[in-house]
Amino acid sequence: MAKSSFWRTALRAQLFNADARECGNAPAILAILFLVLSSLMAAFPFMLSRYTVCVENGQSTHYPGLGSAWLAVAHEGDGIAFQKGQLVKTPSTPEKITFNGWTIAFEKGASDKLTPPYLAFAGQRVLIQSGSFSVNGPAAVLDGIDQTGLLKLSQNFDAFTNFVKGSLYALSTVEVPGAFLSIFALMLLQNLIFVLILGMFLAMSGLRIGWQTPSERRRVGYWPSLKTVACVTAGPGLIAAIFGGLVPQWGMAVAMVAYSLLLGLRVIMVYMSRFKNKPRKQ
């Protein structure tokens, strides 16, 4: 197989058994790239779900009165400031403030069981909840904000409104990229284990073929089988990504089941085709 045809063969391998068998001769880097690509596609429904939830929770319309809570912080926070990713307060800073139906809690007060709606500053986290919607974000988002700055903002309605909306959205979504990386890493690990197991299954076909046709042992051994399985993961991964994207509300679990079943079925088809197309013993 010429180097220029490796990619074409790997792409055709998603549908054609002959090309899938040839993937055993492909460079290892190609198999790794397809494994990474399929893991990314399989992780897409989970990433989409996480992003959708975070964006939805970051909408200010779900937190009526949040602006009033921030006004209470501005007027009664007594010297509070956000520095180096955490809240800095003075001895006169109250533990709790109740204003317009909202509870604002600082440090020790935030450790108590609070009844929504509330705005709580707990160590390096900022917690906001109203009804069934909640945000738990890093206080580092608010670095540079202090009581003096909040008081100045409160004198300009538009600026203060933008601060309330912007800080809420940032607190809700700032950790999404890190969550994406974690989801992808877990999916890659899971996919790798799955490929190792299916590669072992596919290599079992090589035991009989290699015994009957010694010249074929290298082509059907465990390493070529691993590369074959890794290359054919892209098709099932793409289907899982499309399905999970179209039906996000319940597509994650079904997408993963579909991915596992389709990949398992694809490997079985390659397994059977090895016997059907094995060279005759000389």
Spans of all domains in the chain:
3-52+177-276, 60-174
Q: Residue 4 has which token pair?
A: 């220029």
Model confidence pLDDT, tens digit, residues 156-170: 999 999 999 999 999
Model confidence pLDDT, tens digit, residues 29-83: 999 999 999 999 999 989 998 999 999 999 999 999 999 999 999 999 888 999 9
Please answer whether residues 171 and 137 qualify as being in contact, where contact means their C-beta atoms are separated by less than 8 angstroms: yes
At 7, the pLDDT band (50, 70, 90 cuts) reads confident
**Strand-strand pairing, 102-106 and 118-122:** parallel
Model confidence pLDDT, tens digit, residues 110-128: 666 889 999 999 889 999 9
At 219, the pLDDT band (50, 70, 90 cuts) reads low
Please state the pTM of the whole predicted model.
0.83
Please name the helix (run of DSSP H) or strand (run of DSSP E) that holds residue 126, with its range, or none: strand 125-130
At 204, the pLDDT band (50, 70, 90 cuts) reads confident
Does 183 have pLDDT greater than 90? Answer: yes
At 282, the pLDDT band (50, 70, 90 cuts) reads very low
From residue 147, alpha-carbon distances to 68, 73, 91, 134, 245 in Å are 15, 7, 15, 24, 43
Please answer whether residues 206 and 236 qualify as being in contact, where contact means their C-beta atoms are separated by less than 8 angstroms: no
